[in-house]
Amino acid sequence: MTDRRQAVRSPHIVTLVIATATGALAMNIFLPSLPTIARHFSADYAVVQLLVSLYLAATAILQLFIGPASDRFGRRPVMLTCFVIFIVGTIAALYAPTIEILLVCRLLQAFSAAGMVLSRAIVRDTVSATEAASKIAYVVMGMSLVPMIGPVIGGYLDEWYGWQSTFVLTLVFGIVAFGIVYFDLNETNQQPSPSFLAQFRAYPELLRSRRFWAYALTAAFTSGAFFAFLGGGPYVSTEMLDLRPSEYGLYFMLISVGYMAGNFTSGRLSSRIGINRMMLAGNLISTGGMCISIVLFAAGYVHPASLFGPATLVGVGNGVALPNANAGIVSVRPHLAGSASGLGGAMQIGGGAALAVVAGALLSAESGAAPLLWVMMLSSAAAVLATLYGVSIDRREGPLVT
């Protein structure tokens, strides 16, 4: 296995960063525009919030097919095809006459998930599990520049040119990403599966693995806290904290900086400290951060710092925990790396979509920020429990073979 990995030329890390960042940009750049979009289409915020949760749900479902397809047909052709669909969907979004059509366009944009899913599989094609955790962390650290500055740029674009301008920038980025992937990404899947259906038959093998469940649930609950914030954060910021779209984007940078710091820490320490301890540390940081936020709001400190300061710790915790959880997901059965990445990603994003819906549905002018804060805290606490379950498996069965 090691010799085969060394013989495969890995694409430049910048290529993987840009491929992964495409989906992150489509997810984050228009967040400050959600209230504007609601006014533009005269739609309820709960409906407009589906632009987030429906996108996440579609991303989750698509990953179930993208991963196996890449195991059968190769990483390169699947990623390029998905990026073409993403570009078409983004163009259509610019001319959407109703909120319903815009929601359909978001479904097409969800094909950008290929960048995230296949980058993980490509990394696992070329390095061991412990090395994969570090390399994935560096990929995500570079990618996190996009969600860090995306909402800031999106907020100003919304105020200056309208919400459609955020989709124009997303389109340009997607076209550039397609070109870079086309010219730099070689095929890293040197052992394609004999049939597409064979990869779906691999799902029961993964689902029977308790270790896979430990990593997948850790990833789902870890990211769930962040996705809940994506669903409810804009409402709390604009309706309760009176922030303008550009101000929301600036505060959101704090979370992205925290995420980047966590990724850097993971990249430096994962290979030495180990996957499980890194996941545990990251999720304890996230849980502690949200406990602080709950206490601050309960004490009457209704201020942006009470929301975004502790949420920054959630960003740090996610950055520490997620690269290790994702490395574990694709390392449980290395010969099924694409399928594992797709299935694990579907569980991760699907759980996040559900929590985004819950957070958005529970929030109201009467509820205050409490529902959002509690959903985020409980999700982070559940990730701690999932990690401890993985630790118990390692004690009984031995550590993950890298």
**pLDDT above 70 for 402:** no
Least confident range of 85-99, 147-161, 371-385 = 147-161
Asked if the structure places residue 402 within a domain, the reply is no
pLDDT at 195 (0 to 100): 66
Asked if the structure places residue 359 within a domain, the reply is yes
pLDDT at 85 (0 to 100): 96
pLDDT at 388 (0 to 100): 94
pLDDT at 8 (0 to 100): 58
Angle between helices 337-362 and 370-397 (to 10 degrees): 150
Q: What is the spatial distance between Cα 42 and Cα 19, in angstroms, rounded to a whole number?
A: 34
> Where in the sequence is the domain holding 275, given as residue range(s)?
7-396
**pLDDT above 50 for 181:** yes
**pLDDT above 70 for 9:** no
Q: What is the spatial distance between Cα 123 and Cα 54, in angstroms, rounded to a whole number?
A: 28
pLDDT at 198 (0 to 100): 64
**pLDDT above 90 for 192:** no
- pLDDT bucket at 140, cuts 50 / 70 / 90: low
Give the type of residue at 300: G
Q: Please give the average per-residue pLDDT across 43-62, as a whole number.
A: 82
Asked if the structure places residue 1 within a domain, the reply is no
Residue with tokens 């390095």: 127
Asked if the structure places residue 401 within a domain, the reply is no
332-360 exposure pattern, b = at least 16 Cβ within 10 A, e = fewer = bbbebbbbbbbbbbbbbbbbbbbbbbbbb
Asked if the structure places residue 2 within a domain, the reply is no
Count the domains in the chain.
1
**pLDDT above 50 for 6:** no
Q: Is 141 exposed, middle or buried (0-12, 13-18, 19+ CB in 10 A)?
A: buried
Percent of the chain with pLDDT over 90: 23
Indicate the DSSP class of residue 128.
-
**pLDDT above 80 for 216:** yes
Q: Please give the average per-residue pLDDT across 187-215, as a whole number.
A: 74
- pLDDT bucket at 2, cuts 50 / 70 / 90: very low
What's the full length of the chain, in residues? 402
DSSP per position, 259-286: HHHHHHHHHHHHHHH-HHHHHHHHHHHH
Q: Please give the average per-residue pLDDT across 117-137, as a whole number.
A: 69
CATH at residue 280: 1.20.1250.20
Task: Give CA 255 to chain center in angstroms.
Answer: 14
Q: What is the spatial distance between Cα 255 and Cα 163, in angstroms, rounded to a whole number?
A: 23
- pLDDT bucket at 395, cuts 50 / 70 / 90: confident
Helices (H), 127-244: 129-143, 145-161, 164-184, 196-200, 203-207, 210-235
3-state secondary structure 286-334: HHHHHHHHHHHHHCCCCCHHHHHHHHHHHHHHHHHHHHHHHHHHCCCCH
Torsion angle of C-alpha atoms 34, 35, 36, 38, degrees rounded to 10: 90
Mean pLDDT of the chain: 82
Q: Please give the average per-residue pLDDT across 209-219, as a whole number.
A: 88
Higher pLDDT, 365 or 29: 29
Q: What is the spatial distance between Cα 154 and Cα 159, in angstroms, rounded to a whole number?
A: 9
Helix (H) or strand (E) holding 115: helix 113-126
**pLDDT above 80 for 214:** yes
**pLDDT tens across 228-259, in order?**
887 788 888 888 888 887 788 788 888 888 98
Q: Is 42 exposed, middle or buried (0-12, 13-18, 19+ CB in 10 A)?
A: exposed
Give the type of residue at 35: P
**pLDDT above 50 for 1:** no
C-alpha triplet 370, 372, 373: angle, nearest 5°:
65
Helices vs strands, H then E, count in the chain: 19, 0
pLDDT at 337 (0 to 100): 66
Q: Please give the average per-residue pLDDT across 303-317, as a whole number.
A: 92
**pLDDT tens across 24-52, in order?**
888 888 878 887 888 888 888 778 878 88
**Two tokens, residue 50:** 């589906």
Task: Give CA 273 to chain center in angstroms.
Answer: 24
Q: Please give the average per-residue pLDDT across 302-311, as a whole number.
A: 90
Q: What is the spatial distance between Cα 94 and Cα 90, in angstroms, rounded to a whole number?
A: 7
Asked if the structure places residue 370 within a domain, the reply is yes
Q: Minimal CA–CA distance to 293: which of 316, 274, 313? A: 313
